[in-house]
Structure 1
Amino acid sequence: MNKYNKLAFISLCTLILWACEPSDVRSAAQVDARLAQPKVAKISEQLPPYLTRDIREEVFYFVMPDRFINGDKSNDNGSKTLVESQGGFDPSSKSHYHGGDIIGLKEKLPYLQEMGITSIWMTPIMRNQAMQGDSSGYHGYWVLDFTAIDPHLGSAQDLKDLIDAAHALNMKVFFDIIANHSADVIKFKECHGEDGKQWLGETEGLCDYKTLEQVANGDTYSTFVSPGSEDIKTPQWLNDPKFYHNQGDSTWEGESAIYGDFAGLDDIDTDNPEVVKGLIDVFKGVVSEFKPDGFRIDTVKHVNMEFWSEFSPAIVEHAKSLGIPQFFMFGEVYDFTPEVLSQFTTTGNMQSILDFGFQSAVFQTLVERKGTDVLAMLFAGDHHYKDADSDASQLVTFTGNHDMGRFAHLLDVAKFEMDEAEKLARVKLSNALMYFSRGIPVVYYGDEQGFVGDGHDKDSRQDMMPSLVASFNDDDLLGTDKTTADSNFDQSHELYQDLVALAQLYLDHPALRNGQQAQVYAQSTPGLYAFTRTLDNKQYLIVANTATTDQSQTFTMNYQGYEPVVLAKDKTEQDGVVTINLAPLSYAVFKAKK
């Protein structure tokens, strides 16, 4: 049995044993019998009610509805009356709508619940401009109407039905919202010509950014809206160019990151008090109508900090006034350092942000094969997040997403050669670090089915339903002989089952969800990383091995009697001194008796 087959056996044992005491270890025949049926982890049914549940109890599933499953083919082409929101359907193109919708997502709630998911986060679902250039708004980030559901995805009633169905399963639903920009409607004569159809800019494809100083000195762009598009945004005030910055395209650096158009999208002037009030009112209205459980907020760092410090508390307080006491918002800040990320939860008054720092640390340790001290340095910065109403335990953690690509893809293009068994082992270890370290885990849709992808953005947004996209279907998926040309909702897939096991452990041992984290050991090379999670005087020791060889280390602990929750290769203990021996790319969890 090679080292990765050994690891696979350990993972299978974990599925069976989960949180069992040593006396519960079963025979091989019993193990085989138990493996005949896929395990499920309906942990949402055993958690506190969704309405009052703390955010640190959640396991998120991040899904792009258009790429999930088509529950209603009649909405594939979008609106039947609004030209700007119809069409763009081409399931053979990775750049267009594929037909997935809210009804389809509702049908698959049991699949998610049985994986141990408790909260669903959807990409933006508000009405989009169907086409911009040669691509469509399937992803949801080209909003025209901030108050209505995109007709490609269904109706307002469909959304309410989804939320009701999720709540009936004690699961939460989160919307992805945007305050930074709207769809690309406003044009600049100096770049787009008088008719908006020609290119006059000095830089190909880029309308050069004009600084605040240039604008103050009268050096501005001449804005216009093409005939027929003067009133296509909702609310109505969003149609007036005066409520946008109109300074050209962002260069992603300096002031342009806040005041420039995001790849041509109309950059909303969130410095304007009228805009601040208008957007607060818009999203209060969304909360009032649909009663979601929270928001993920897009492109947060491209908006001035003062906006968030006013917007965030206003929306949370409004939700509370409607009887949603645990309404929760987390923002996307594409940065990898706690010093920068934490500014948005402290100065910006946001409850949480996506922890890009965690993603980077896992990437460095498991893909680039740096030392586990990278993880230690990340968690050593957790103090930056501490303020009166939030801390690092509320950060939302992930390993890959729809912009940067899937974690399996990052492994696929790594400079180190590895076979499928090693890739699967690294994916599983990344999941374990995500679930058992501080923060709230997010599973990116399709990762549980071994999706890989060819890169970031469009190449990481595959179909769960049978796909017609050639560049998706030629992928070699992990852990299966299927391709994305097949339906991929296999509950026996080993990665799905791995997440089931992690979720069950998450449920059975509350300290693994929200216990205080403390570092025990790290090293400057691939190898062991150890930390504890402690809650109500119950302590767990978690040890991960990022190396491709067995690793052993001795720890002096304050607690005693560490018994296995997830088995290590070997463990000895005497008088508070614990020695752990771990197989390659594996992890172990121990619970102290006293």
Structure 2
Amino acid sequence: MTTISKTLLATAVALALSACGNDKAPIDTSNDTQASTVAEKAKQTSVQLAPYNQRHIQDEVLYFVLPDRFHNGDADNDNGSKAIAISQGGFDPTKEGHYHGGDVKGLTEKIPYLKEMGITSIWLTPILRNQAVQGDITGYHGYWVLDFTEIDPHLGTNADLKTFIDTAHAQNMKVFFDIITNHTADVIRYKECHGEGELTFSDGEQMCAYKSLAQVAAGDKYTPFVPKGMENVKVPAWLNDPKYYHNQGDSTFEGENSVYGDFFGLDDVNTDDPEVVAGMTEIFKDIITQFKPDGFRIDTVKHVNIEFWQEFSPALIEHAKQEGIENFFMFGEVYDGNPDVLSKYTTEGKVPSVLDFGFAFAVKNVIADQKGTQELANLFAQDGKYKDEDSDVNQLLNFVGNHDVGRLAWALRESEHNYSQEEMLSRVTLAHSMMYFLRGVPVVYYGSEQGFVGDGGNHNSRQDMMPSKVASYNDDVLLGTDKTTADDNFDTSHPIYQSLKLFAEIYQSNEVLRYGQQAVVFAEDKPGLLVATRTLESGEQYLIAYNTSSDMAHGEFALQGNVNEVVYDSGQSLIDSTDGQATLAMSPLSVAIYKITN
């Protein structure tokens, strides 16, 4: 990675300033003592968080975790249920698609690790009882629900879950559940394509061709049935009746079958049916009443008809208020980077927010693929689409990697740019700072803070934090450490962990970074500067600047007001602002935040 001397930076800025006819001395934000003071001030302020039940979503830093892959607090539950065969087995810590033993007790033990990093909310993948095994893989991830009334026995008991939530709340942290209304576990079969013999599963292939709504209306239907011995495996009992499912065959995730087809063979719930809407609403009202979570992340939102969300979302939020959870919050997974698609669900669909896949894809393009910073500017130019009476873009959930798309570090490793380990570390850290400082709410994907890389998405991005026995995980070269995933990876001294801790401190101690409306003032069609302002209604305004290039970058742009104080600078930047113009020079792969006064 290219390095740059302060002298060169000063020279570059001086030349730029002289070209503007301005010889005013620029502000130097590179002083180490000043940076240390900024960090210490942030630490002192950030501990004064409001009580968890009073905080808005924009005050949160979320941590997204698969409990099975985190920490094993109770080896006695590794094989799941001791009484219910369908939720038993699947434990093999050597296989990436099997249960590895992590559980809710283990997660409870690690709450201090998360709190020290500045995490304020923990989002768990689905924790309800699953069909343990489907074919040659398992439900370790939680998305194959059979029973909507109890925790999966591989993860513990309902009492363990309540203890976890109580412990998190006692530490002033929130808990978000991952919920599913689109489908249940793969139980229902179709005589026309499954036959009536040995059980087979559709994971990874389309076993049963999709039958369109027009075909069904014309009488061309599948004949659904429940295999012998599985007639009563789902809870509540009404979920066992095939009449409450679409039964139209496997989705190819295109056109209408994206909504009406079986998601990899999973039984697609007929959410058009008013009885189903009422039933699903009651299921999750009961979960709110029983466990008192602080919110839900909703799986597969775009695979459900939008009318369902229009009724479901307001009903749950109102119920949570009746249960004393005033700031209960829900956000959906709409697997699409297009703001037109994403915003449809936050406005018309009445889901309060969504995960911002557009942000994740744009950051990958800019940071890993070295596209111009205009990519992010183009995305942010569409932010107004999310604005309605109860939500806006600041409530979107920012992320740069997850359990489906994979980790950003993997994208960097596979890049044609042949990044060194050092530069990969710098780029991953810079991308995470975008999560914290640009509009939206930051979501850290577990293991990112320990330099996890992976070999792709899905199972390849779901490594163990506890010592792993999966060969394809353990051969990874992690960022910022000599460890592998075969080691215990809860290192609070890891450089990414330390950076995220500092980002959280800055985020929490500067309201404008959580609530300020954002406007891009400078971007480029190449790697280089991205500069934006964030402004509160009170008039308080910050300037956030990034250099995404591995070389020094500088630029000139219009700016009303004067930059007179640095909030944070990860590198060496020099800035001058006067007479409505600003000139900025930044060292490679750095971020700087400034206060603006009028």
Partner of 1:139: 141
Question: More displaced, 528-537 or 204-213?
Answer: 204-213
Q: Distance in 2 between matches of 1:99 and 1:520?
A: 49
Q: Supply the distance in 1 between the matched residues of 2:169 and 2:514 (Cα, whole angstroms).
A: 21
Task: Indicate conservation of the 8 Å contact 1:561/1:593, yes or no.
Answer: yes
**Which residue in the other structure is 2:464 paired with?**
463
Give the direction of change, closer, same or farther, for the CA distance of 1:391–1:204 in structure 2 (3 Å limit).
closer
Q: Structure 2 CA distance, aligned partners of 1:39 and 1:111?
A: 22
SS in 1 for 2:155: coil
Task: Give the superposition deviation at 1:3.
Answer: 2.8
Q: In structure 2, do the counterparts of structure 1 residues 174 and 42 end up closer, same or farther at CA, with 3 Å as the change threshold?
A: farther
AA of the residue aligned to 1:552: H
CA distance in 2, matches of 1:445, 1:305: 31
CA contact (8 A) 2:181 2:299 kept: yes
Q: Aligned residue for 2:127? A: 125
Q: Distance in 1 between matches of 2:175 and 2:152?
A: 17
Q: CA deviation at 1:534?
A: 1.3
CA gap 1:415/1:240 in 2 versus in 1, 3 angstroms:
same
Q: How does 1:73-472 map to 2 (within 5 A)?
A: 73-197=75-199, 205-472=206-473
Post-superposition shift, 1:360? 1.1
Q: Matches of 1:161 and 1:301 in 2, distance apart?
A: 33
2:33 aligned residue (10, 22, 26): 26
CA distance in 2 between partners of 1:465 and 1:39 (Å): 34
Match of 1:14 in 2: none
Q: Tell me the TM-score normalized by structure 2.
A: 0.92
Q: Does 1:556 align with 2:555?
A: no
| Distance in structure 1 (CA, Å) of the matches to 2:248 and 2:41 | 55
Report the CA distance shift for 1:42/1:499 in structure 2 as closer, same or farther (over 3 A).
Answer: farther
Look up the equivalent residue of 1:53 and give its one-letter code.
R
Deviation, structure 1 residue 584: 1.2
8 Å CA contact 2:294, 2:325 repeated in 1: yes
User: Is the Cα contact below 8 Å between 2:29 and 2:574 reproduced in 1?
Assistant: no
For residue 325 of structure 1, give the secondary structure of its aligned residue in structure 2. coil
- Partner in structure 1 of residue 21 of structure 2: none
| Paired residue type of 1:569 | S
Correspondence for 2:544? 542
**Residues 462 and 44 of structure 1, relative CA distance in 2, 3 Å threshold:** farther
Q: Secondary structure at the match of 2:162?
A: helix
Looking at structure 1, the residues matched to 439 and 244 of structure 2 have their Cα atoms a distance apart, in angstroms, of 40
What is the CA-CA distance between 1:41 and the residue it aligns to?
5.9
Would you say how many aligned residue pairs link Structure 1 and Structure 2? Answer: 574
Question: Which amino acid is 1:587 matched to?
Answer: V
Give the drift of 1:198.
Answer: 6.6
Letter of the 2:285 partner, please give it.
K
- Equivalent-residue separation in structure 2 for 1:194 and 1:467 (angstroms): 39
Q: Residue by residue, what CA displacement relative to the aligned partner does 1:338-372 show, whole Å, maximum 9, x if unpaired? A: 11110001111000000001011111111121111
- Taking structure 1 as the reference length, the TM-score comes to 0.93
Q: Which residue of 1 aligns with 2:12?
A: none
- Whole-angstrom CA distance in 2 between matches of 1:41 and 1:99: 35
CA distance in 1, matches of 2:100, 2:133: 14
The more displaced of 550-559 and 501-510 is: 550-559
Deviation of 1:561 after TM superposition, in Å, equals 3.5
2:2 corresponding residue in structure 1: 3
Secondary structure of the residue that 1:46 maps to in structure 2?
coil
Instruction: Report if aligned partners of 2:45, 2:509 keep a CA contact under 8 Å in 1.
Output: no
- Unpaired runs of 5+ in structure 2? 10-27
Q: CA deviation at 1:304?
A: 0.3
3-state secondary structure, aligned to 1:374 = helix
Cα deviation, 1:42-70, whole Å, max 9, x if unaligned, reads 98742111111111000000000000000
**Whole-angstrom CA distance in 2 between matches of 1:180 and 1:350:** 15
- For residues 520-535 of structure 1, what are the structure 2 equivalents within 5 Å? 520-535=521-536
Q: Is the 8 A contact 2:372 2:525 kept in 1?
A: yes
What residue identity is the alignment partner of 2:178?
D
User: Structure 1 counterpart of 2:575, which letter?
Assistant: K
- Structure-1 separation of matches of 2:424 and 2:464: 22
- Match of 1:562, SS? strand
Change in CA separation of 1:476 and 1:135 when aligned onto 2, cut-off 3 Å = same
Name the amino acid aligned to 1:442.
V
The code of the aligned residue for 2:400 comes to: T
Identity %: 58
CA deviation digits over 1:179-212, x for unaligned, max 9?
A: 000000001111111224479x9x9752100000
Deviation at 1:562, TM superposition (A): 2.8
Change (3 A) 1:593 1:72: same
Deviations 1:407-447 (A, max 9, x none): 10111111211101111111111111111111101000000
- Could you say which residue in structure 1 is the equivalent of 2:594? 590
Q: Indicate conservation of the 8 Å contact 2:64/2:123, yes or no.
A: yes
Partner of 2:362: helix, strand, or coil? helix
